[in-house]
């Protein structure tokens, strides 16, 4: 395969600032433009915009303890059960961390946004326009079975993912990559299709998992099927079958022969000898298991437990540390999500009315002890969140959609669609009146029995599907408020397995409202097509609401094509406004802290990075503290 005609080497250091401008020294701007288009950047990483934080000769990440000791076990909880070790199939329920053995060519950090560095490669090469990328692979990478990783494994993994991977992933990915080639035993090239934005694609293909071709074929593996046989990867941890209890416990152990222990991205990380996950039927059982020492680290997501549940002896005597640690990450977008495929939710007025009846202010005080803030943006707690009236740049993006009748003109001058604000009482009468007016206008009128029906006599029914008993106290008051509105609302409690079945494509998206999330990345790109694109709405594990909006589809393309941080921010804010205007969700809550509890044998760097808690990666085990806990009988 012919290489690029002009190769301009990039010296160690940040990428974009290092692009040489030899072409500009030749007479004429036209010549300069031609030569610049042919330049090849060679670097140890890539950034969406701007410069990389870490130079090519960095020795470790700033936020790790490079001298952290290795050893010990950390254990956490999960809900429900598992019956598969394949995280890339829509079938079965994959175990937590079932992809832990797999690494990708590039890896990100927890103190940068939109940056990736060579992990399985020594360098990467790409043109200024990013229309293709070459990865020069390391020669010392080995799979956990001791065999070396080669270019053949990389291309094989790519081919399997694009033919056997998740349907929504394949739908998008096959529209972006023209071809993947082996240029040599340790060199691969990905060429991207000409009609898609290329900005994020080098990072996207570099972030794909790599697994062993030989092991895959020897095991007669099928990535589209559930299986308890794990994929063989190059990662620091491997599945421990001897410690597995199917459905209830899964363990991973650190490889003694891990190739990447001294890699700058890994120094001070992967410190635990073992990572174990214990499964429980619900959070109350999991909490009791933690108190009993069945697992040792808990990321608490229940405000009532955090406020009132940690007065037990192990906390009071110092056996367990209870801590609030800073969290600079974007909010998760947790929300009640409508199934827009349901006929009763086709009218946006119905969705708005139902949203008005959720009283967050009452819930925060009565149920959450004032711990949370309300989510009102898909990019909550980030610079991408839309606020106030649109900027001139946002207006320029939105105006064509208004002109074509895809958006109401009010979006050009108005603040983003707000979440409802309620009073101190559970049933806010002002919101009740507003919601009643909306449903009356939508043709859902109150009958003699107090229930609302449409012109065909069909009741307005809403079912909240719930697999978490901890959410009962949130959903049941919401149901009461909706019934006061005349909506025949109810909550149906099911187990996690049933929940997953009913909310997946192969289960027919059999739900009305669930707790899910409005997903987004800190820097968003083509993944938005999986989250919100019409083309994946009926096959996606992520676009569970079934959103199909021509305006959203158009704006996703604008976000993907942004060529600077400023233009990306402007485009994302415009998209945020439109997504919020669709009212496919009733936003819930978030907190800008990690509320964690753990047995006092774990330690972490004094300053945590902004975008990760990192307890499984850069925390470590203090053997002396652990021995002291065992001596007191505090650990099992």
Give yes or no on whether 41-70+80-218 and 334-590 have one common fold.
Answer: no
Q: What is the pLDDT of residues 573-596, one digit of tens each?
A: 999 999 999 999 999 999 989 999
Q: Which of 39, 607, 75, 126 is nearest to 328 (CA)?
A: 607
Any idea where the domains of the chain sit in the sequence? 41-70+80-218, 334-590
Of 5-14, 113-122, 578-587, the range with the lowest mean pLDDT is 5-14
Sheet holding 334-338, edge to edge: 488-493, 461-466, 513-517, 334-338, 585-587
In the chain, % of residues over pLDDT 70: 94
pLDDT band at 12 (very low <50, low <70, confident <90, very high): very low
Three-state DSSP class for 534?
helix
Three-state DSSP class for 280?
strand
Helices and strands counted in the chain (H then E): 18, 28
pTM over 0.75: yes
Which H or E element spans position 395?
Answer: helix 392-403
Length of the chain: 636
pLDDT band at 496 (very low <50, low <70, confident <90, very high): confident
Our measurement of the distance from residue 369's CA atom to the centroid of its chain's CA atoms, rounded to an integer in Å, reads 27
pLDDT band at 221 (very low <50, low <70, confident <90, very high): very high
Q: How far is CA 138 from CA 15, 127, 130, 144, 510, in A?
A: 20, 21, 22, 16, 47
DSSP character at residue 247: T
Three-state DSSP class for 29?
helix
Mean pLDDT of 281-309: 94
**What integer best gives the mean pLDDT of the chain?**
92
Q: Quick one: 334-590 is in which CATH superfamily?
A: Dipeptide-binding Protein; Domain 3 (3.10.105.10)
Q: Are 470 and 284 a contacting pair, CB within 8 Å? A: yes
Task: Give CA–CA dist 57/76, Å, rounded.
Answer: 35
- Is the model's pLDDT at 21 over the cut of 90? no
User: Scanning the structure block, which residue is given the tokens 């056997």?
Assistant: 164
Q: Are 252 and 237 a contacting pair, CB within 8 Å? A: yes
Question: Token pair for residue 191?
Answer: 């060429």
**What does the pLDDT read at residue 50?**
85
According to CATH, the topology of domain 41-70+80-218 is D-Maltodextrin-Binding Protein; domain 2 (3.40.190)
Q: Are 584 and 320 a contacting pair, CB within 8 Å? A: no
- Is the model's pLDDT at 262 over the cut of 90? yes
User: Scanning the structure block, which residue is given the tokens 């199939």?
Assistant: 89
- Is the model's pLDDT at 340 over the cut of 60? yes
**What does the pLDDT read at residue 2?**
32
**What does the pLDDT read at residue 38?**
61
pLDDT band at 120 (very low <50, low <70, confident <90, very high): very high
First to last CA, the chain: 59
Mean pLDDT of 489-497: 94
- Is the model's pLDDT at 441 over the cut of 60? yes
**What does the pLDDT read at residue 10?**
34
Q: What is the pLDDT of residues 373-383, one digit of tens each?
A: 999 999 999 99
Task: Give CA–CA dist 122/124, Å, rounded.
Answer: 7
């Amino acid at each position: 395969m012919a290489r690029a005609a002009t190769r301009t080497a990039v010296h160690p250091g940040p990428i974009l600032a290092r692009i040489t401008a030899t072409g500009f020294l030749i007479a004429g701007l036209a010549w300069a433009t031609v030569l610049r288009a042919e330049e090849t950047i060679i670097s140890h990483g890539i950034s969406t915009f701007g410069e990389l934080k870490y130079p090519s000769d960095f020795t470790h990440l700033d936020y790790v303890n490079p001298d952290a000791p290795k050893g010990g076990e950390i254990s956490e909880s999960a809900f429900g059960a598992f019956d598969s070790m394949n995280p890339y199939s829509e079938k079965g329920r994959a175990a937590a961390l079932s992809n832990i053995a797999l690494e990708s060519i590039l890896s990100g950090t927890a103190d940068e946004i939109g940056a990736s560095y060579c992990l399985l490669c020594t360098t990467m090469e790409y043109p200024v326009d990013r229309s293709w990328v070459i990865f020069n692979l390391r020669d010392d990478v080995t799979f956990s079975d001791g065999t070396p990783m080669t270019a053949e494994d990389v291309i094989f993994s790519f081919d399997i993912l694009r033919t056997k991977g998740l349907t929504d992933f394949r739908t998008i990915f096959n529209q972006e990559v023209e071809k993947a080639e082996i240029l040599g035993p340790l060199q691969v090239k990905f060429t991207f299709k000409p009609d898609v934005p290329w900005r994020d694609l080098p990072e996207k293909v570099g972030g794909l998992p790599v697994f062993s071709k030989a092991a895959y074929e020897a095991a007669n593996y099928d990535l589209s099927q559930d299986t308890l046989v794990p994929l063989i990867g190059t990662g620091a941890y491997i599945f421990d079958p001897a410690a597995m209890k199917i459905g209830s416990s899964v363990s991973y152990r650190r490889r003694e022969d891990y190739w990447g222990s001294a890699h700058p991205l890994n120094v001070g990380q992967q410190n635990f000898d073992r990572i174990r996950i214990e499964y429980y039927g619900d959070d109350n059982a999991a909490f009791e298991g933690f108190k009993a020492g069945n697992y040792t680290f808990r990321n608490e997501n229940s405000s009532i437990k955090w406020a009132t549940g940690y007065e037990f002896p192990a906390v009071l005597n110092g056996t367990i540390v209870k801590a609030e640690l800073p969290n600079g990450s974007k909010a998760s977008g947790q929300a009640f999500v409508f199934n827009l495929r349901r006929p009763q939710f086709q009218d946006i007025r119905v969705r708005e009315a139902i949203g008005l009846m959720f009283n967050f202010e009452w819930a925060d005080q009565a149920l959450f002890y004032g711990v949370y803030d309300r989510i009102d943006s898909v990019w909550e707690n980030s610079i991408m969140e839309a606020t106030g009236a649109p900027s001139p740049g946002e207006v320029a993006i939105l105006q064509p959609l208004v002109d074509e009748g895809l958006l109401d003109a009010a979006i050009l001058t108005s603040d983003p669609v707000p979440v409802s604000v309620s009073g101190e009482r559970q049933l806010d009468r002002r919101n009740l009146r507003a919601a009643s007016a909306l449903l009356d206008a939508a043709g859902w009128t109150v009958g003699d029995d107090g229930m609302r029906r449409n012109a065909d006599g069909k009741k307005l029914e809403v079912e909240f599907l719930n697999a978490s008993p901890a959410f009962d106290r949130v959903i049941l008051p919401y149901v009461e408020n909706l019934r006061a509105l005349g909506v025949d609302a109810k909550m149906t409690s099911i187990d996690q397995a049933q929940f997953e079945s009913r909310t997946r494509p192969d289960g027919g998206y059999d739900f009305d409202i669930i707790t899910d999330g409005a997903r987004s990345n800190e820097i968003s790109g083509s993944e938005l097509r999986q989250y919100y694109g019409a083309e994946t709405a009926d096959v996606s594990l992520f676009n569970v609401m079934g959103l199909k909006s021509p305006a959203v589809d158009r704006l996703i393309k604008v976000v993907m094509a942004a060529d600077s941080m400023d233009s990306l921010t402007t485009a994302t804010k415009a998209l945020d406004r439109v997504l919020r205007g669709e009212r496919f969700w009733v936003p819930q809550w978030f907190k800008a802290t990690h509320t964690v509890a753990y047995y006092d044998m774990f330690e972490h760097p004094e300053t945590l990075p902004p975008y990760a808690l990192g307890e499984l990666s850069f925390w470590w085990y203090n053997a002396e503290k652990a021995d002291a806990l065992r001596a007191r009988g505090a650990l099992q």
